[in-house]
Amino acid sequence: MAFNVEVVLPSGRKLRVEELKNRDYLDIVKFCSNKDMVGLAKFFDDTFIDQDLNIIERFYLLLYIRMLFIEPDITFNIDQRDVKIDIATMLNKIEQSYIDLERTIVEGGIEVTLDLPKVSFFENIDDLYLSTISSIKVGGEVISFADISDEEKVEIINNLPATIFKHFQNFVQTIQDNLLDVALIEENKSLGVEALEINIVSNGVMHFISMLYNTDLEGFYNLIYNFQNTILPGSNLFFELSPIETQIILNAHQKRVAEENERLQKQQQ
């Protein structure tokens, strides 16, 4: 079993998430560099995200992984100064703004349970409506949307009476009214930090995640090269480490090199 950690999501739900390895991080950085939000969202969905998680839980989880396995802070360069903002504060903000909006509507003998969208990225408006449906009951049959394919979801939706649609629209409006602008970063005038608010139910979430995970791809390749050739020559361990472990080992290596250089300098004197 690979190393994993328990995460308590804003909804109170607990799950265990596996450590982010460098081999996955390299793929993530490539998606970010290509500005391929659809690909990035699919990668996260396949690697870390349980399809039953809603968009806020997904956002929370990805921030958590970033904090735990890459770096606990985000660094902004403002007026040639590095300003660090800790991700833990952002996670607190998300926890505070989390609202359970689940509701069941009944229209013409059809019972539909709506909840926060269970999706990471919306490719079109249909994705938004489809992802807000948790389950549907007609006659005695109940279908959980988490258990069926996208094609089956579309088939069911297409056969619903259009009278249902206004409930979907109202529900999406309710989500927008409650979660339109969640303040993730508060303004700090003395540090020159502007407030950052994010519409949780939008593709802005994945763009923000991409910004947090992105790093210089060329620098990443240099790191791989240096790691495999100088720090741990002949080893393939790099890809099995998390980015934060890599940084710790790199720091230890740099410290040792600095100490050796210092020792050599002293010997030469």
Residue 18 bridge partners (DSSP): 4
Whole-number minimum distance, CB 108 to other proteins, in Å?
5
Q: Collapsing DSSP states into helix, strand and coil, what is residue 206?
A: helix
Q: What are the backbone dihedrals phi and psi of residue 211, each rounded to the nearest 5 degrees, phi first?
A: -65, -40
> Residues binding other proteins: what is the number (CB under 8 A)?
25
Is there binding between residue 161 and other proteins (CB under 8 A)? yes
Q: Which of 139, 236, 266, 267 binds other proteins (CB under 8 A)?
A: 139
Q: Is 156 in the site for other proteins (CB under 8 A)?
A: yes
- How far is the C-alpha of 146 from the C-alpha of 168, rounded, in Å? 18
141 binding other proteins? (CB under 8 A): yes
Closest to other proteins by CB, 156 vs 183, is 156
Task: Report the residue from 158, 190, 265, 268 that binds other proteins according to the rule CB under 8 A.
Answer: 158
Question: For other proteins, which is the closer residue by CB, 58 or 153?
Answer: 153
Assess 164 for contact with other proteins (CB under 8 A).
yes
Q: Which one, 152 or 240, has the nearer CB to other proteins?
A: 152
Cα gap 242→227, rounded to integer Å: 13
- The region of 9-17, 75-83, 156-164, 257-265 touching other proteins under the rule CB under 8 A is 156-164
CA distance 212 to 42: 17
Q: Is 169 in the site for other proteins (CB under 8 A)?
A: yes
Bridge partners of 197, per DSSP, are 183
Amino acid identity, position 43: F
Give me the least distance between CB of 106 and other proteins, in Å please. Answer: 12
Establish if 104 lies at the interface with other proteins (CB under 8 A). no
Q: Which two tokens stand for residue 221?
A: 């390749």
| CB of 207 closer than 8 Å to CB of 37 | yes
Position 51 contacts other proteins (CB under 8 A): no
Closest among 209, 240, 198, 205 to 29, alpha carbons compared:
209
Residues 233-262 close enough to bind other proteins by CB under 8 A: none
Query: What's 182's DSSP letter?
Result: E
- Residue 148 lies near other proteins (rule: CB under 8 A): yes
Q: Which of 100, 102, 155, 262 binds other proteins (CB under 8 A)?
A: 155
DSSP structure string for 216-236: -HHHHHHHHHHIIIIISTT--
Nearer to other proteins, 86 or 147 (CB): 147
Instruction: State in angstroms the smallest separation of the CB of 139 from other proteins.
Output: 4
x/- binding map, residues 109-138, to other proteins, per CB under 8 A?
A: xx---------------x---------x-x
User: What DSSP element (H or E) covers 150?
Assistant: helix 150-158
CA distances from 235 to 21, 217, 248 (A): 15, 21, 17
Residue 172 engages other proteins in binding (rule: CB under 8 A): no
187's CB contacts (< 8 A; 6+ apart) are: 193, 194, 195
Q: Which residues bind other proteins (CB under 8 A)?
A: 108-110, 126, 136, 138-141, 143, 148, 152, 155-166, 169
